[in-house]
Structure 1
Amino acid sequence: MSALPSSGVLDGGVHRLQLRVYFEDTDTAAIVYHAKYLHFLERGRTEFLRVAGIDHAAAVREGLGAYAVTQMDCRWLRPARLDDVLLVETRLISVRAAACRIDQAIIRDGTPIFTANLTAAFLDPAGRPRRQPRDWLALYHSLIPQDA
């Protein structure tokens, strides 16, 4: 697998981020600890926003709001191990006024080893659902596959 830019690439509505498994990600058997997969997914979603042109950190600083995962269905298919090179794929499935449905996969050597389907809600600083900015919604709609 050739190296991708540090923030990954967005192509055809799919964001791809390359990661390497470090010792800190593993247990004593050099297998990735189950909760670390969620960290990898978060990195994928964060870099997806960055590459798409959305400054999530600025939205948080300015009190506009922030995304929070409100539901997630995960499947651990195969273990990742120390020094593996992984690809995190992130794609929007649907968008509502205050939330997005997202599919993510962690892939090693072309084979999915972990999958997740989740909802990320946009929340105001008090933690209540808030409409996503109109320009974000327009961008998201352009990234959703037409057959979805």
Structure 2
Amino acid sequence: MAEPAAAVGPLAGGEFRFPVRVYYEDTDAGGIVYHANYLQFAERARTETLRRLGIDQSRLRDEHDVIFIVRRCTIDYRAPARLDDALEVRTRMTGWRGASIEAEQTVHRRGEDGALVALDLTIACVNGRGRPVRIPGPVREAFERAAGDGSAGHGAAGAA
């Protein structure tokens, strides 16, 4: 479903771009991407974004008892993707504070600027019992490095 992500390193302009190819299994009877599959594309892109930032989620769970869960997701379906389309999921962390992260993701046909789908998310940081916990320092620092010039909302931005 997806191609390998780039090696660990900074995000260009605070944005991570993750390539996805649309396979037959991703489509409905009409040959367009089934609406729920965009959630899978976005989940993979968020995971690869964290990897790019040097954050290993298994290690985070094992060493800090921290996992990330989607608390809220709104999706705007603007245009369909079809079988064999080369897509790109663009991920940007737009704010973080306390125990939550705000993120925006858009799905584009590769090489095109107009978004086919836009997702707006709140991601909660919780422990193994599902209780909110503060985002660990190394994760906050990675987000701040990714934001680069400070133009992305962080610190006081986002929801707690």
Structure having the higher strand fraction is 1
C-alpha separation in 1, matches of 2:64 and 2:144: 24
- Counterpart contact for 2:32–2:83, Cα < 8 Å: yes
Moved over 6 A (4+): none
Q: Secondary structure at the match of 2:81?
A: coil
Does 2:131 align with 1:133?
no
C-alpha separation in 1, matches of 2:15 and 2:117: 16
In structure 1, what residue type is equivalent to 2:139?
W
C-alpha separation in 2, matches of 1:60 and 1:32: 32
C-alpha separation in 2, matches of 1:25 and 1:132: 33
Alignment of 1:8-19 (within 5 A): 8=6, 10-19=11-20
Cα displacement (A) at 1:61: 3.9
Does 2:31 align with 1:44?
no
Which consecutive unaligned segments of at least 5 residues does structure 2 have?
A: 153-160
- Counterpart contact for 2:93–2:104, Cα < 8 Å: yes
Identity of aligned residues (%): 38
- Counterpart contact for 1:107–1:114, Cα < 8 Å: yes
1:71 aligns with: 72
Cα displacement (A) at 1:63: 5.9
Alignment of 1:17-36 (within 5 A): 17-36=18-37
- Counterpart contact for 1:71–1:118, Cα < 8 Å: yes
Q: Secondary structure at the match of 1:95?
A: strand
Cα displacement (A) at 1:138: 1.5
Over aligned residues, Cα RMSD in angstroms?
A: 1.6
The equivalent position to 1:113 in structure 2, one of 92, 113, 116, is 116
- Counterpart contact for 2:144–2:150, Cα < 8 Å: no
Cα deviations across residues 57-116 of structure 1 (Å, max 9, x unaligned)? Answer: 222344621100001111000001111000000001011121110010000141210001
In structure 1, what residue type is equivalent to 2:151?
D
- Counterpart contact for 2:53–2:146, Cα < 8 Å: no
1:143 aligns with: 146
Cα displacement (A) at 1:142: 2.5
TM (norm. structure 1) is 0.90
Alignment coverage as a number of residue pairs: 144
Which consecutive unaligned segments of at least 5 residues does structure 1 have?
A: none
